[in-house]
Structure 1
Amino acid sequence: MSENFIEVKDLHKSFHVKKQSLEVLKGIDFSVNKGEIFGIVGFSGAGKSTLVRCINRLEEPDSGQVLIGGRDITSLSKNELNTERRRIGMIFQQFNLFDSMTVKQNVLYPLQLTGMDHKSAEAKAHEMLSLVGLSDKCDSYPGELSGGQKQRVGIARALANDPEVLLSDEATSALDPQTTLSVLDLIKEINKKLGLTVILITHELEVIRYACDRMAVMEDGRLVETGTVKEIFETPKSETAANFINVFNKFRSDN
């Protein structure tokens, strides 16, 4: 896993609120190796979600580059971007499922947008639901599912177009600890089975430690430290990383 598959270069993003400019990303640089699970951790308001949304241009960065497999996402036209996004799956904290659609219909939705024929789309949806362990829930509705099951549907939908990259934006934050572990185990399994490159955004350090190969620590719109999970846990170089680890260790010792 030595090939830089995702490269983010000098990424900037500001929002304009009440005639004032709020700089949220302040020159972000990092790279992710092909087939790696890369975690980005930070306290609330650090800019994590804005960063991950800029990677697939759900938010438009003001400047900088995002390269995936050598292709600059930030330079693509709208039509080119729509095609490129098939390579980038995304899962969300609040699942973002269509409540009026069945589980299978939710997974079929992105396949239908690409114009895939019905028979092939049906087969693909069943394949993805089998992969996430929900073959028996095809005809259920999201309201009938647990939080963990909803996130598994979200993962199945994100994988439907055979992406090379999976972006996870606080995908376990709304789940209980046991369900969080099961979802992380699934992400690790599909990472190995499908060779996916994963960027995992979270404020939960235990999620990073359990699932990730390397990590970055984010504070106030900047990445203040990057390294292997082992390196940062054992010898944090930034005050932010040290604070995270101190809190993490205190929770562990108290429990």
Structure 2
Amino acid sequence: MAVKTLQEFLSTTQEKDVSADAFELESPHMLEVRVDGMVWAKAGSMVARKGGVKFTRQGLLEQGLGTLLKKMVTGEGLQLMKVEGQGRVYLADAGKQVTLLRLAGESIFVNGNDVLAFETGIASKITMMKKVAGMLSGGLFNIQLSGHGIVAMTSHYEPMTLPVNAQTGPVFTDPNATVAWSGSLVPEIVADISLGTLVGRGSGESLQMRFAGEGWVVVQPYEEVSFQSKG
């Protein structure tokens, strides 16, 4: 890699203002949010800020009783925070790649680990794949996002989208490599005992997500094992 002068480094790494949107990628791994009111972001994802911006962790009443019970049962660490005021906030998550999606009334599901931020025009609902709870320590949390606005989701490295339709048949994915899928799909959790010796899970079975119907599913080239499913 070529050595840069100080001025070259400062010039190539300074923040950019090329988009009129509230969400702008400063790099593939860094998101700038121009806050003018409120947005939701993953708790702990702020790396820098400017202006009059305050942060509030998602309140108990906002999460709802069902969400609280799910967290108590599963030990899931997913938390969102309100980002309010006027200013700029810079968000990142362990160097993961950030993808911006503009929803125009559509609905998508995103793995709870992979939601970085979304605008207030997006409605969110935390869901859990209940069948997983008895097989993995903690189950699998997802967030359903729908409405109008921008969603920032993360992935380890470049994500890949697989179409799901009647012609291709069902698509099977590793839960820990599954990033998102279309709101029209309802995945099933299935166990493939024949793969148990290759995966090494404590149950001796390989758990997979089965997608059938019409839609798409996004996977990453990485198995993201959250703390509740380790061991």
TM-score normalised per structure 1: 0.28
Using CA pairs below 8 Å that are at least 6 residues apart, which structure has the higher relative contact order? 1
Higher helix share: 1
TM-score normalised per structure 2: 0.30
Higher strand share: 2
